[in-house]
Structure 1
Amino acid sequence: MEAKGTLPKTMKALVAYSATDYRLETDYPVPACGPDDLLIRTEGCGICAGDLKCQHGAAMFWGDDTQPAWVKPPFIPGHEFIGKVVWAGENVSGYALGERIAVDQIAPCGACRFCKDGHYWMCQPHEIYGFFHDFCGGMAEYVRIPTGRSVIHRVPQDMPLEAALLIEPYACSKHCVDRADIGCEDVVVLSGAGTLGLGMVTYAKLRSPKKLIVLDMLDERLEKAREFGADLVWNPGKMDVVAAIQEITDGYGCDIYIEATGHPSSVVQGMQMIRKLGRFVEFSVFGAPTQLDWSIIGDRKELDVLGSHLSPYCFPYVIDHIADGTLKTRGVVSSVFSLDDWKTAFDRASGQYGDFKVAFRF
């Protein structure tokens, strides 16, 4: 299946050549595709905190004296993309021209121990769309999808773009909440009400916790969290949230704390307010190390400390429940830009102006 004679040879793309060299190019080659590939025309692509940290030169991406570089430039950023099929290789079946798709951000190798035992999101090579030359992302007019290395999902044609752009982030949110294993007797504190935090709020509410409390330093985010189902919303900059938790739990502390801010102070705060034998789930990508007396984890509270990475097996649920309105999305995509304005978009995506999700529309 091919769209013969209709595809251009070049495209507009944001290309990362190094930590200090991101360029908007108007004549970048459209990806060369092989017999096992799909090519999609990008509809939109969200900007993730990881995209920002990479563009700012964070060592976890580009390496430093203690760790090697992970990314492989030149690459096109963006893993929160959605698009429509415009070309399919001769070995690809089951996809129609114009069909709308999204993909898991990980490109599993299929051969490592993690892929073989079903934990594909922890694939040892760990190549992710938007950080590798062979897996360029959605901040471009076209994206190559190698079907043998991609987890592909169909998206309803009638889903509004502003909702479809939340599929990938909300899938990450779902995995995090699933890791928390929320029960109906749990007092849950969720720290951070950005896009991912809001995805956690709307999904966590469906788990029927005894109390769902959301923390954020921005009151407008807290109001959105309340709209999405939070029972209580607190601003740690305006009140002693640790004392408040102690007061409503008879001095024990919360049962579950989900950290979704990426700020070291939120980790310390969570360790202070969680009860003995509680569950702490860390989600965020951090820009700086966190200093903590680890005695609180073992000797003092015997905590379960869990991580959450990517969105395994979560896309189908999220697509279905965004489509039927169960997962709330209204107003989360707060700013949409053209790729020409990528510098402004990245600046707005920092959250300093109160934005939730900032995205590109093509």
Structure 2
Amino acid sequence: MSTAPAGVPDTMQAVICHGPENYVLEEVPVPEPAAGEALVKVEAVGICASDLKCYHGAAKFWGDANRPAWAETEVIPGHEFVGTIVQLDDQAAERWGVAVGDRVTSEQIVPCWKCRYCLRGQYHMCAPHDLYGFKRRTPGAMASYMIYSGDALVHKISPDLPPAHAAFVEPLSCALHAVERANMTFDDVVVVAGCGPIGLGMIAGSRAKYPAKIVALDMAPDKLKLALECGADVAINIGEEDAVAAVKDMTGGYGADVYLEGTGHPSAVAQGLNILRKLGTYVEYSVFGSDVSVDWSIISDDKELDVLGAHLGPHTWPAAIRMLESQLLPMDKICTHQLPLAEFQKGLDLVASGKESVKVSLIP
């Protein structure tokens, strides 16, 4: 049995969700790992758009009072993180191949390993669906220390990466899963809508597939410039140019082969359906704040499109880690803001604005 270093305190600072728009920084006990678990000192935790949605209250965003909320009260938020192991037992060390002092990350979902999805290897669709930072059973990383559950999927990650860069593995893994869902080929023209953290990851992942052309869409000039650095061939400001016309012009009038949606804006859905050629592929990753209405005849009778969803990042974490460790991405420009845990509200506000930041992280 490994033991925690003497320097681990009895209490720690943590952000606690008491309800919509009622998050408070509190002093709470440092959690104690049970058998098969690990105590991890958090180095960085990213703030995701879904964290912001939960902060404002799920019902406000889902638009359906009967749809269950993602975030429970009295939970510590934060599901994209990296940290250093300070305590674990032999069972956990053997299962994960890790030791005290290793820098590690954990996939955001803690599978039950018993439901039909887990048993089929589709663990990202686990029926109980315990995600770090959304349920009391799996507290998140907006704290000085956290527990990695015994059922978690844990990966080592290089200690040479800055903490905020290493924590970017979570959104990058999600983006790579969306890319895999598209089944893109070498001669595809790929359009990525949105150049935030997910969209930039989609661009980088698509570049690794070597399609014929990658087109990035956004309204922010700085983000479009960053998209080119991540691998886009063309960047279109949709506030200044008709993206549908531009893509059709560059494809002989046909349209794009693949459309990856990463904005969460309802207008991006119709844009994607119209920008695709017949028999094209649409991949939806975003979580929307309201219902989206489209002409479904475009999907069926008009174009016979493949419309696919994407959720989390199953089986893509090792690739995301390799991509980060390659240092080919402009991570200093992607990870724009790192704030102390006490400034979590400022971090949420930066994400809400979307104009001053790309990826905002907290450093406990």
User: Into which bin does the TM-score normalised by the smaller protein fall?
Assistant: over 0.9
- SS of the equivalent of 2:297 reads helix
Contact 2:63 2:290 in 1 (8 A): no
Residue aligned with 1:28, SS: strand
Instruction: Tell me the CA shift for residue 4 of structure 1.
Output: 5.3
Match among 146, 149, 153 for residue 151 of structure 1: 153
Aligned residue in 2 for 1:293: 295
Q: How does 1:3-18 map to 2 (within 5 A)?
A: 3=4, 5-18=6-19
For residue 225 of structure 1, the aligned residue among 200, 224, 227 is: 227
The answer as to whether partners of 1:19 and 1:62 remain within 8 angstroms in 2 is no
Give the C-alpha shift of residue 111 in structure 1: 0.2
* CA distance in 2 between partners of 1:137 and 1:90 (Å): 24
SS at match of 1:93: helix
Q: Pick one of 192, 195, 203 that aligns with 1:193.
A: 195
Residue 132 of structure 2 is matched in structure 1 by: 129
Q: Aligned residues, how many?
A: 360
1:296-316 CA-to-partner distances (Å, cap 9, x unmatched) read 111111100001110111111
For residue 321 of structure 2, what is the aligned residue in structure 1? 319
Q: Counterparts of 2:65 and 2:226 in 1: how far apart (Å)?
A: 41
Q: CA deviation at 1:275?
A: 0.8
**Contact conserved, 1:61 with 1:70, CA < 8 A, in 2?**
no
1:62·1:71 contact (CA, 8 Å) conserved in 2?
A: no
Distance 1:10 1:61 in 2: 34
Q: 1:306 aligns with which of 283, 308, 322?
A: 308
- Is 2:260 aligned against 1:247? no
Aligned residue type for 1:108: P
Following superposition, the deviation at residue 61 of structure 1 comes to: 8.1
Deviation at 1:209, TM superposition (A): 1.1
Whether the 8 Å CA contact 1:11–1:29 is kept in 2: the answer is yes
Q: Distance in 1 between matches of 2:104 and 2:158?
A: 9
The corresponding residue for 2:75 is: 75
Deviation at 1:160, TM superposition (A): 2.0
Q: Indicate which of 99, 102, 105 corresponds to 2:102.
A: 99
In the other structure, the counterpart of 1:88 is 88
Other-structure match for 1:66: 66
**How far did residue 152 of structure 1 move?**
0.3
Counterparts in 2 of 1:131 and 1:248: CA distance versus 1, 3 Å: same
Pair 1:64–1:292, CA change in 2 (3 A): closer
Question: What is the SS of the residue equivalent to 1:198?
Answer: helix
The residue identity in structure 2 corresponding to 1:145 is: Y
- Letter of the structure 2 residue corresponding to residue 132 of structure 1: K
**Kindly tell me: are residues 32 and 171 of structure 1, through their superposed partners in 2, closer, same or farther at Cα, counting changes over 3 Å?**
same
What's the CA shift string for 1:25-84, capped at 9, x where partnerless?
Answer: 1x2121132122100000000000100011011228889533233433311111111000
**How far did residue 10 of structure 1 move?**
1.2
Cα deviation, 1:105-157, whole Å, max 9, x if unaligned, reads 0000000000001000110111100101111111000001112x200000112
> Could you tell me how far apart the structure 2 residues matched to 1:291 and 1:243 are?
22
Q: Please list the CA deviations of residues 220-239 of structure 1 after superposition, one character each: whole Å capped at 9, or x if unmatched.
A: 10000011111110011101
Are the equivalent residues in 2 in contact too, given 1:36–1:89 (CA < 8 A)? yes
After superposition, the Cα gap between the structure-2 partners of 1:85 and 1:60, relative to the gap in structure 1 and judged at 3 Å, is: farther
The alpha-carbon deviation at position 327 of structure 1 amounts to 4.4
Per-residue deviation at 1:270? 0.7
Q: Deviations over 1:284-325 (max 9, x none)?
A: 111121111111111111100001110111111111221122
Q: Distance in 1 between matches of 2:189 and 2:64?
A: 40
CA 1:62 to 1:19, structure 2 compared with 1: closer, same or farther past 3 Å? Answer: farther
Distance 2:103 2:208 in 1: 28
Q: TM-score, normalised by structure 2?
A: 0.95
Query: Structure 1 residues 231 and 45 mapped into 2: Cα distance closer, same or farther (>3 Å)?
Result: same
1:193 positional shift: 0.4
Q: 1:89 Cα shift?
A: 3.3
What is the root-mean-square deviation in Å for CA atoms of aligned residues? 1.6
* Distance across 2 between alignment mates of 1:33 and 1:162: 25
- Is the 2:256–2:275 Cα contact (8 Å) retained in structure 1? yes
Verify: 1:256 aligned to 2:258, yes or no: yes
Asked if 1:112 corresponds to 2:115, the answer is yes
Task: Indicate the percent of aligned positions where both proteins have the same amino acid.
Answer: 41
Residue 22 (1) aligns with residue 1 (2): no
Pick one of 331, 334, 355 that aligns with 2:333: 331
2 CA distance for matches of 1:161 and 1:16?
24
SS at match of 2:13: strand
Gaps in structure 1 of 5+ consecutive residues: none
**TM-score with structure 1 setting the length:** 0.95
- Counterpart for residue 181 of structure 1: 183
CA distance in 2, matches of 1:244, 1:361: 42
Q: Within 1, Cα distance between the matches of 2:61 and 2:73?
A: 11
Residue 354 to residue 5, structure 1, CA distance change in 2 (3 Å): closer
